[in-house]
Structure 1
Amino acid sequence: MNPIEAILTHARETAALDQVAARLSWDQETFMPRGAARQRGDEVAAMSDVLHARRVDPQIGEWLAAAQPETDIEKAQLHEVRRAFDRATKVPARLSAEIARVTSMAQGQWAEARETENAADFLPVLARVVELKREEALHLSDGRDPYDALLAEYEPGATADDLSAMFGALRPRLVALRDRAFGSVRQPGLLGGTYDETVQIALGRELAKVFGYDFARGRIDKAVHPFSSGSGDDVRITTRTDPTDPFNCIYSTIHETGHAGYEQGIDPAYHFSPIGGGVSMGVHESQSRIYENQLGRSRAFTGWLHGRMERAFGDLGLDADAFYCTVNRLGRSYIRTESDEVQYNLHVLLRFDLERALIGGTLDVADLEEAWNTRFKADFGVAVDRPSNGFLQDVHWAVGLFGYFPTYTLGNVYAGCLHAALRRDVPDLDVALAEGNTAPAISWLAERVHRHGGLYPPRELISRATGAEPSEEPLLAYLEAKFGALYA
């Protein structure tokens, strides 16, 4: 084989093993017995050893040196291989395996601490995770900001300083919009009653199909924290239910369908290749958020959803207009994943600042809960009542995903850009959405985003899709127009 063929064959086998490792994590959050956590940690560590050895194989460096890419696809593939190889060779195999082992155990301890509301039980293992991630960041940073080195794993090309500037532009207008809404005489009501959880799951499956999810290549299960896993021909999603809040299941399912739709929509020719997955978590999140919010919470789609829910659950006690307002109601929520569109990013910015401090060494894990609660009270005006509504609500830090949280807000920014372009290109979109037909929107996204996989860098992909550089302005304009009208 020539060097490029050799690289791609090696990458394909590594990607296949990586999918097996991901299935171990999926199983851990869905069907694995609780008592198997320590054994699963050893299994994950063993798989991590195998993957790390493949990723640091010196032969990769020799192939890269000899490769002569001719097409844009080959150049993109080799760029991703080189980026991964450079990162992998900087992290000792010992450290990589230890991170895999500890985070696997930490995930189980987080779930138990969250269930029992005993934060103290989780802090020792979290301290160890932070210690390991700090060490990893130092290996990767080359003297630069260690946090940027972790961020690059999820959003190549982004820096904490750039994101801070963007987030700084978002914060004041989001706070001002929220305060005006809370001060309005028009306040949407809540959805009362209880809703059969089996029916919720059935409706969630239907909605996944409505948004283009291919069940021949996927499945839906329940988990504590909804997520999407896999790529290519095996892309799985999870959701959760609440008997008093069917929107939790509905919009968690639509959100994860956005992630899954991206992976299922990538050009099959790229499967198991270095560009065979979503290009970044920011772009990934843009798909889940545009599915969930700009499409799923639009007046047109909620009109259709109102009728579908009444067929499933009976009279909701709201007409379609009131239902739309209730779906989009602003409220003071402890939980990021249950937060409204206006305040969601404030939840993310809190996490972004705290995890930067943890990695930078200016915040100790022992002081994390107090720092979280103090910041939350300042940002949202209410005191955290229990750990599961505070710093224990997310699994991300337990599994070592430092640098991941800011991609949620970056995804909202990208979604704002994509939505503005979608409305420009498909002016009669609401006609289709009012009939429960998302095909025009999904087809547009599939053509401009999904099929490309990792062919283009994140910002370039959004620029190509929309015709403009990414900016927070389209998101802010959308939110101010939508909620300005909704709250009069």
Structure 2
Amino acid sequence: MTALNDLLKFDSQTQALSQVAGRLGWDQETMMPENSGDQRGVEMAALEGVLHARRCDARVGEWLSQIHIGTQDGVIQAQLREIRLSFERAVKVPGDLAEAIASTTSMSQGKWAAARAADDFAAFAPVLEEVLALKREEGQALAVGADVYDTMLADYEPGTSAAELEQMFGALRPGLVELRGAILEKEPAQAMQGPFDEAAQLQISNLLAEKFGYDLKRGRIDKAVHPFSSGSGQDVRITTRTNPDDPFNCFYSTIHEVGHGCYEQNVDPKYLLTAIGQGTSMGVHESQSRIYENQLGRSRAFTEFLFSKMQAHFGDFGIPSAEAFYKSVNSVSQGFIRTEADEVQYNLHVLLRFDLERALVSGDLQVKDLQTAWNDRFYSDFGYHVASASQGCLQDVHWSVGLFGYFPTYSLGNVYAGCLHETLREACPQLDEDLRVGNLASATDWLRDNVQCHGGLKLPRQTISDACGFEPSEAPLLAYLKQKFSYIYDL
């Protein structure tokens, strides 16, 4: 066998083991018994040790050195690019450090959940300090004199720096603040009257998943405290959650995670268990979940369809018309939780986290001071006080599992979604007619063919610019938000 064949076979086995590790993580969030966390941490560390050893196996470097990349086609070149990046990253991180991170973050996740339930940041702070120290050590090993936070960011959005994001977010923020201020001077939208039966919520949730193209023969929907998606190819799983007083939490969590799930299910099957067999970055991933959830799922046309389904399941729930329902779905109001935030305020929640985690990584902010810093920044940005740790710095799972550098990809995904939506509207002029009857095919087919099928073939920015025909910027997102909410709130 040639070096290329040997390398690709070896990498495919590594990709398969990585999927197994991901499934262990899914199980931990959904099905694992309450007192199994310690053993799961040992299992995760053992598997991470195997994966790390494979990723930095000397044979990978030898095979790469023997392959003439210029003679290969574009697909093989992309696979070799990703394998090389993974190898060069892995050889810089000691194996015992990789195992320690896997073990500690697995344990930390349970500690975070307990502290969140108890509203007790002080109980979690020592664990977070340990996670942060390990991730800093990893970042320093990878950076080799470069910016540590940029190195962390590269794990989720290759080719993007904190300085670039700061400039983009700086251009985004004033428009959001101005729009938010104008909206909050208006009367709030009409509220729904619950409670809403959980079983009925989940019935509608499953219907929405299928309407948006999620293949339940290659996936499943379960419940979790913090909704997420997991897997790729032929086994892509998502979660949602229910609230008897707020069915939108269930419906739009489902649609959001379906966006992630459909991206993975729609990657070209030829790429299965290869280095390009999954989404190209978390920013592009988030663009899919956010365009599904917001530009499509919260559109005036689609909410007409959703309104009819809610009437059928819940009868009179206090909203008299489809127009009033559209405004209720898109209501802008005060709140603490990022995942429940409206489109106008969501990115302000993300920018808060972006700035705080950079300060944590740099050492400008100590973990013991995080809760105070969070609360002060939240008051500065939103104008009211955080009531509890579970509504503040303990609300997200990300830092507990070491995902420093992940948060900014949420807002970058919104920016990408704005660009994609502008182009999608031009490509599908009949879109609103389809959405009114719950037909998502024209939109989801366009996204599949122009973004999702490529998987990791292209770099993130190229994926978006090729789909849109222009370089991504914050302008389309701001234009969309201003147009939409100026109508809803008669600005």
The Cα offsets for residues 240-294 of structure 1, whole Å up to 9 and x where unpaired, read as 0000000000000000000000000000000000100000000000000000000
Tell me, in whole angstroms, the C-alpha distance in 1 between the residues paired with 2:4 and 2:182. Answer: 57
Q: How many residues align?
A: 487
Q: What secondary structure sits across from 2:237 in the alignment?
A: strand
Letter in 2 for 1:378: S
Letter in 2 for 1:311: A
Structure 1 position 190, deviation (Å): 1.6
Equivalent residues in 2 for 1:469-484, closer than 5 Å: 469-484=471-486
Q: What secondary structure sits across from 1:423 in the alignment?
A: helix
Query: Which residue, 405, 410, 433 being the options, matches 1:431?
Result: 433
Tell me, in whole angstroms, the C-alpha distance in 2 between the residues paired with 1:448 and 1:20. Answer: 29
Unaligned runs of 5+ in 1: none
Match for residue 94 of structure 2? 92
Tell me, in whole angstroms, the C-alpha distance in 1 between the residues paired with 2:475 and 2:6. Answer: 45
Equivalent residues in 2 for 1:253-292, closer than 5 Å: 253-292=254-293
Equivalent residues in 2 for 1:231-270, closer than 5 Å: 231-270=232-271
Matching of residue 413 in structure 1 with residue 415 in structure 2: yes
Tell me, in whole angstroms, the C-alpha distance in 1 between the residues paired with 2:334 and 2:197. Answer: 25
The Cα offsets for residues 68-94 of structure 1, whole Å up to 9 and x where unpaired, read as 231011111100001111111111101
Letter in 1 for 2:474: E
Structure 1 position 333, deviation (Å): 1.1
Determine if contact 2:191/2:318 at 8 Å carries over to the other structure. no
Equivalent residues in 2 for 1:80-479, closer than 5 Å: 80-184=82-186, 186-318=187-319, 319-479=321-481
Determine if contact 2:188/2:333 at 8 Å carries over to the other structure. no
Tell me, in whole angstroms, the C-alpha distance in 2 between the residues paired with 1:152 and 1:199. Answer: 41
Match for residue 12 of structure 1? 12
Letter in 1 for 2:343: E
Structure 1 position 4, deviation (Å): 1.6
Structure 1 position 189, deviation (Å): 1.6
The Cα offsets for residues 368-408 of structure 1, whole Å up to 9 and x where unpaired, read as 00000000011111111011100100000000000000000
Q: What secondary structure sits across from 2:222 in the alignment?
A: strand
- The percentage of counterpart residues that share the same residue type is 59
Letter in 2 for 1:406: P
Q: What secondary structure sits across from 1:164 in the alignment?
A: helix
Determine if contact 2:350/2:408 at 8 Å carries over to the other structure. yes
TM-score, normalised via structure 1 length: 0.99
Q: What secondary structure sits across from 1:35 in the alignment?
A: coil
Equivalent residues in 2 for 1:44-83, closer than 5 Å: 44-69=44-69, 70-83=72-85
Tell me, in whole angstroms, the C-alpha distance in 1 between the residues paired with 2:3 and 2:83. Answer: 12
Determine if contact 2:139/2:152 at 8 Å carries over to the other structure. yes
Letter in 2 for 1:403: G
The Cα offsets for residues 209-260 of structure 1, whole Å up to 9 and x where unpaired, read as 0000000000000000000000000000000000000000000000000000
Q: What secondary structure sits across from 1:216 in the alignment?
A: coil
Structure 1 position 11, deviation (Å): 1.0
Tell me, in whole angstroms, the C-alpha distance in 1 between the residues paired with 2:24 and 2:417. Answer: 31
Letter in 1 for 2:401: V
Tell me, in whole angstroms, the C-alpha distance in 1 between the residues paired with 2:193 and 2:414. Answer: 29
Tell me, in whole angstroms, the C-alpha distance in 2 between the residues paired with 1:257 and 1:313. Answer: 24
Tell me, in whole angstroms, the C-alpha distance in 2 between the residues paired with 1:383 and 1:2. Answer: 63
Determine if contact 2:41/2:102 at 8 Å carries over to the other structure. yes
Determine if contact 2:451/2:463 at 8 Å carries over to the other structure. yes
Letter in 1 for 2:384: V
Structure 1 position 332, deviation (Å): 1.1
Structure 1 position 187, deviation (Å): 3.0
Structure 1 position 198, deviation (Å): 1.3
Determine if contact 2:128/2:367 at 8 Å carries over to the other structure. yes
Tell me, in whole angstroms, the C-alpha distance in 2 between the residues paired with 1:449 and 1:316. Answer: 38
The Cα offsets for residues 180-226 of structure 1, whole Å up to 9 and x where unpaired, read as 11113x43122222001111111111100000000000000000000
Tell me, in whole angstroms, the C-alpha distance in 1 between the residues paired with 2:224 and 2:381. Answer: 29
Q: What secondary structure sits across from 1:238 in the alignment?
A: strand
TM-score, normalised via structure 2 length: 0.99
Q: What secondary structure sits across from 1:150 in the alignment?
A: helix
Q: What secondary structure sits across from 1:398 in the alignment?
A: helix
Q: What secondary structure sits across from 1:219 in the alignment?
A: strand
Cα-Cα RMSD: 0.7
Unaligned runs of 5+ in 2: none
Letter in 1 for 2:259: G
Tell me, in whole angstroms, the C-alpha distance in 2 between the residues paired with 1:12 and 1:202. Answer: 37
Structure 1 position 136, deviation (Å): 0.6
